[in-house]
Structure 1
Amino acid sequence: MARALRTLTQLMGWSSVAIGLFHVALGNAAIPGAGSAGTTIDSWGRFMGSSFVGYGLAWIWAARQRPIPAAVVRWLAGVFLLGAAGRFLSLAVAGRPQWFQLALTAIEVALPPVFFWLADAEERTERVAAEPAPAGR
């Protein structure tokens, strides 16, 4: 489980950085259906892209710690879940988005429980390894 946590944490970090840089570089063109949204949305999208780069860097930082800090993983997963809540709110208020946004929503709902479950896997493994062996009879 500790290996799964480390792998998923790194994957989350690098994919967030890549997605963020994609949005910074392409602006509206990075958002399906937003190509003609105008300069205000372009500016906002590039800003949010840079914020997502920072979010990804926080995941990468966590993945490089020994052990990976469970509290940090839980906070970062909570932020990701908050993004899903925002998408659900948008769905209720503005209606159904482009299909790819629905796929992203599914990922944003599915991954946080996995991270919440795995969050302390590495800390737990190190705690067990550090405990003295039971004394013989």
Structure 2
Amino acid sequence: MARILRWLVLAMGVACVAIGPFHPALGNDSVPGEGAASATADSLGRFFGAIFAGYGLAWLWAARQSPIPATAVRWLAGVFLLGAVGRLLSLAVHGWPQWFQVLLTVIELVMPPLYFWLADADEKAFRDRA
């Protein structure tokens, strides 16, 4: 379980750091279906892209710890879950987004419980080795 946790934490960090810079660089064009969005939406998307990259760096920091801190995994997974809640609120208020955003919502709802479940696997393995 500890190996799965380490891989998932590392994969999340790499994915977020890889995706994040596209938003500041491409603006509205980085979001499928949003090329014609307003200057306000463009500004917001570029800002959040930088924040997303920083969020990925936090995952990478956690992946490099030995053991991976369960508290950090839980907090980072909680933030990810809050993102999914935001998407669900948007769906309730504005309706269905572009299909890729729906897919991201599903991922954002499925992954946090997995992270919560595995969060202390590396700490437990570390204690067992000691």
TM over 0.5: yes
Q: List runs of 5+ in structure 1 lacking aligned partners.
A: 131-137
* CA-CA distance at 1:39 after TM superposition: 1.7
Question: TM-score, normalised to structure 2's length?
Answer: 0.98
**1:24-61: per-residue Cα shift (whole Å, max 9, x none)?**
11110011111111222111100000000010000000
Residue number in structure 2 paired with 1:134? none
- TM-score normalised to the size of structure 1? 0.93
| Identity value in percent | 65
Q: For residue 13 of structure 2, what is the aligned residue in structure 1? A: 13
Aligned length: 130
Query: Aligned equivalents of 2:84 and 2:34: distance in 1?
Result: 19
Structure 2: gaps of 5 or more residues: none
Structure 2 CA distance for aligned equivalents of residues 106 and 62 of structure 1: 24
RMSD of equivalent CA atoms: 0.7
Q: Which residue of 2 aligns with 1:107?
A: 107
Q: CA deviation at 1:22?
A: 1.1
State how far apart, in whole Å, the 1-side matches of 2:46 and 2:37 are.
13
Decide which moves more: 35-44 or 60-69: 35-44
What is the letter of the counterpart of residue 129 of structure 1?
A: R
Deviant stretches of 4+, over 3 Å: none
- Counterpart of 2:66 in structure 1 is 66
Give, in whole Å, the separation in 1 of the partners of 2:129 and 2:48. 41
Rg larger for: 1
Counterpart mapping for 1:1-137 below 5 A: 1-130=1-130
- Superposed displacement of residue 102, structure 1: 0.4
Please give the alpha-carbon distance, in whole angstroms, between the structure 1 residues aligned to 2:82 and 2:39: 26
Work out the CA distance in 2 between the residues paired with 1:40 and 1:87: 18
For the residues of structure 1 that align with 2:21 and 2:29, how far apart are their CA atoms? Answer: 13
